[in-house]
Structure 1
């Protein structure tokens, strides 16, 4: 004789190892198989119950499937209950054995005992296949009019499974579902609401139009729930059946979408729910949240929407993080509908950005981003900058990028724009994207009235703190272009004076060059900035030459090359000022995304071309892959010699129509005197200079500062 179920559970729990447990299960399964072969009817339900326990432990129990069917065919309720339970656990709709149970299900659906009919409906609602659903749909529809509420409730839920398996049968349940709405039993009403919801989702607009006439019935149900007194059978947290209220509100939302008449019919009850339901318990908060979703989903009036948004504002002050999260999530959806109403809760939303829960912080930041406009940009940006200083490291990238995007979009004036981005770069420069740094450089280059103020501000920040990457990029570029403006007078309003001299600026660059850096990009830009200042600060040229000489032996090839090339520029004093002139203003329209600001089409450029512009472009860009230099028109004798330095890279060719030049092209450049004009090549033009912001890769930041960048082979 096999063990009883309690004894089997006790034996399994007493096992100390997995092997011991497997041995107990294997022994008991063998005993159960023997009992099945001997057709032991007396203990069949006990053996199937033990198989259910074994199945839940993860062991195979397929050999007991037929025994479940035999129990279902029994006449007593206990055996049927175990049989249907085994059927739902050990079989699914893909099993061929399931076809054998269709007739038993049909008989039990027509049984006079409501509990047996309920077992059949429960099994059909869990494992019905398309064939079973099609065969048994008429019986289920009849049970939706059964005299027992227990059966009607289960029939409504079973119908949902039938509609999912056989969608074409959905319309046959319209009338039965409409009848269930008028039922007085709360369980039947919950099932009816869910059934109509699924019908509307399955058949779409046609079903919604069919059930829209039932809105008055739904309003009546909600009114009875909201205004009724205490009912012990349905009271949860001081509310009458919040589950039914939530289902009804959800159905009202679907039926009221896009229909002003239906929305007007439900507006009064929605206002009553929003004002009468208390939000001090979870049940009340659930009903209020569903009410808010319904108000915002239907064609409600403005006052009702304001009431709903105020409810969400109260949710933001709740201690429960889940309630605050759903409130932020809902506010993010409705901010586009009624921005002014959401703006009233701006301070509470900003406080959520500082919450300890990372999910709430992210949702609040997204909502703040949606709330910002030209009228509140200064206030909200100040709050976000204060939080940026204390925010977690993993939160800084997203927060930094959003602040930069907001400033770029809603800045009230250029000075505030520049000040704010400098502050962001000072606090979180390592998280600022290169596109934002490029955009700031473009802004500064197009604001000549603010260039002295900007360079003083950047110089002050660079000297008082340990600058981060983005701040270094912008600061070094501005020092190279407008470093001479540090010595000018004329402070702006509320501007603090900066004590700067030629020597102090050069010392700052020398200090920054000695700082350890992960990438050589900043050192390359610093060298370019240093050589550009040599034409602005003539008294500091010896110090600048000494700095460049220190890096002629750098282990970085690019740094070494720049130091060598820039050092050679001091030999040619006649052309050095022209080479190191300030860049013209960058084109704002074409560099809005950090892309090229100069368009090259047929050798023409948007901005007027000048010898200086050509000289400040990287020489390698003008060399073809074969190593040949395109021809150009003469600008000046000295400048032509410099631009033609790479001619020596070409292989010598015998003269065909003209004698070979008697003068070496580089002899005078590398010598002490001034060379006569070199013979010009065939007529043609150089390609226009590329934009300093033309390439998206970080490596192209080396060309933002417009110093000369030539091959070292030409200056050796």
Structure 2
């Protein structure tokens, strides 16, 4: 029988054993005794000389190598002894495979999956992650995508090894391919911790500002959750979430509005600062509904604190009661404001009526206008608040 026939029979046998092991746990246990033989066959393939019948771009029978690696992955998945037997050959294949051709990348990809799929040594896992790190530098976008996708799957298994490639992963956020950007974004969030939160958040905020619309909602929510989990201090946390509101605009989800309001209410020492920042943001643009809703709540709750509050490292800003009432009125009158935003605004005016002094008549006048609103909720609030002015002023 020729060498070609022998390798063909071997290829068929490996495929058959793999299928049998996937179907039956008993068969899997039975074939674990073949691991030393499979290791020997794989070693012969990478050490053998040139064979024109099976050579593909300088790699000896890559199809058989891939099939053997998949079978080894199946056999070593939950077995420490089998995994130890194949550790050396996996390292040998990983270091001796030519990476200048796609066929070499295919084998290295299977090597990575096998290393991460068995009970391998820590050093071997680092080697596997480093292979994926090299893939990220490849000019082929398909290889970069595969690398990011695989790193996302193994990041929890070897977090520190993946963390070493953080810079390269963040660079992929600027890739022209939308699929690569999406995977890079997901992996970047998986790599955030208390030590790198400032640097990572700077990159992700830049990404949020320039990314495609379909990414903004997910990116916004993940930034808010990461900031809540790893923020170094309250001031940084507040500033970061406010930037998200401004950058993401109407793509901010409702849960982010609720989370931010809760965060602000718990940060007593920054109430004046936050209200002033929201006032400034509204002056620049009040068309973004989530930001307008948070701003209306903040101004309604803490509007009186703005008059004595100054922002560090910024020019002092003078705000009067008239300025505050005027900005709330503009939000109410804006045709782009949603009904929810208007409800926030009219309630904010009512709260301010008990804290402001010189603008109370103006506030009452604005609220009365909405007593004939076609929106039932807005009309009801206006009528009830107007009654507080006229019939229950001592309670207001």
- TM-score if structure 1 supplies the norm length? 0.53
Aligned match of 1:659 = none
Cα separation, partners in 2 of 1:218 and 1:550, compared to 1, 3 Å: same
Query: C-alpha deviations, 1:546-593, integer Å up to 9, x for none?
Result: 3223333333233233333323333357524xx4xxxxxxxxxxxxxx
Matched, 1:190 2:190: no
Structure 1 position 536 matched with structure 2 position 355: yes
Tell me if structure 1 keeps the 8 A contact 2:286–2:331.
no
Distance 2:91 2:112 in 1: 10
Name the structure with the higher helix share.
2
Counterpart in the other structure of 1:307: 127
Aligned to 1:284: 104
1:19-30 matches, within 5 Å, as none
Gaps of 5+ in 2: none
- Residue 512 of structure 1 aligns with which residue? 331
Q: Which runs of 5+ in 1 are unaligned?
A: 1-146, 154-184, 580-716
Q: SS at the partner of 1:516?
A: coil
The CA distance in 2 between the partners of 1:463 and 1:306, in whole Å, is 51
Q: Is 1:398 equivalent to 2:195 in the alignment?
A: no
Between the aligned partners of 1:364 and 1:535, the Cα distance in structure 2 is 50
Confirm whether residue 245 of structure 1 aligns to residue 65 of structure 2. Answer: yes
Distance 1:417 1:282, change over 3 A: same
How many angstroms does 1:448 deviate by? 1.1
2:233 equivalent to 1:413: yes
Residue 253 of structure 1: how far off its partner (Å): 1.4
Report the counterpart of residue 340 of structure 2 in structure 1. Answer: 521
Number of positions where the alignment pairs a residue of Structure 1 with one of Structure 2: 396
Q: TM-score when scaled to structure 2?
A: 0.94
Please give the alpha-carbon distance, in whole angstroms, between the structure 1 residues aligned to 2:326 and 2:289: 19
Tell me the CA shift for residue 352 of structure 1.
Answer: 2.3
Q: Secondary structure at the match of 1:311?
A: helix
Aligned mates of 1:448, 1:318 — CA distance in 2:
50
1:266 and 1:521 mapped to 2: Cα distance? Answer: 62
Q: Which runs of structure 2 are paired with 1:186-225 in the superposition (5 Å)?
A: 186-204=7-25, 206-225=26-45
Q: Kindly report the root-mean-square deviation, in angstroms, between the aligned alpha carbons of the 2 structures.
A: 2.0
| 1:261-660 correspondence to structure 2 within 5 Å | 261-489=81-309, 491=310, 493-517=312-336, 519-572=338-391, 574-576=393-395, 579=396
- Confirm or deny: 8 A CA contact 2:289 2:338 kept in the other structure: no
Cα gap change, 1:561 to 1:211, in 2 (>3 Å): closer
Shift of 1:411: 2.2
Aligned with 2:157: secondary structure? coil
Q: Deviations over 1:98-142 (max 9, x none)?
A: xxxxxxxxxxxxxxxxxxxxxxxxxxxxxxxxxxxxxxxxxxxxx
Cα distance, 1:247 vs. partner? 0.9
For residues 379 and 118 of structure 2, the distance between their equivalents in structure 1, rounded to whole angstroms, comes to: 69
- Kept in 2, the 8 Å contact 1:215–1:252? The answer is yes
Distance 1:496 1:263 in 2: 64
| Secondary structure at the counterpart of residue 390 of structure 2 | coil
Alpha-carbon distance in structure 2 between the residues aligned to 1:229 and 1:265? 24
Residues 216 and 283 (structure 1 numbering): CA distance in 2 closer, same or farther, change over 3 Å?
same
Higher normalized contact order (CA 8 Å, seq sep 6+, divided by chain length) = 2
From the CA coordinates, give the structure whose radius of gyration is larger. Answer: 1
Q: Which moved more, 1:210-219 or 1:275-284?
A: 210-219
Change (3 A) 1:542 1:229: same
Give the secondary structure class of the aligned counterpart of 2:43: helix
CA distance in 1, matches of 2:223, 2:282: 22
Q: Deviation string for 1:360-396 (max 9, x for gaps)?
A: 2222222222212222222222111101111111222
Shift of 1:201: 1.3
Residues 283 and 148 of structure 1: CA distance in aligned 2, closer, same or farther (over 3 Å):
closer
Deviations 1:662-689 (A, max 9, x none): xxxxxxxxxxxxxxxxxxxxxxxxxxxx
Which of 38, 51, 60 aligns to 1:231? It is 51
Contact kept in structure 2, 1:256 and 1:262, CA below 8 Å: yes
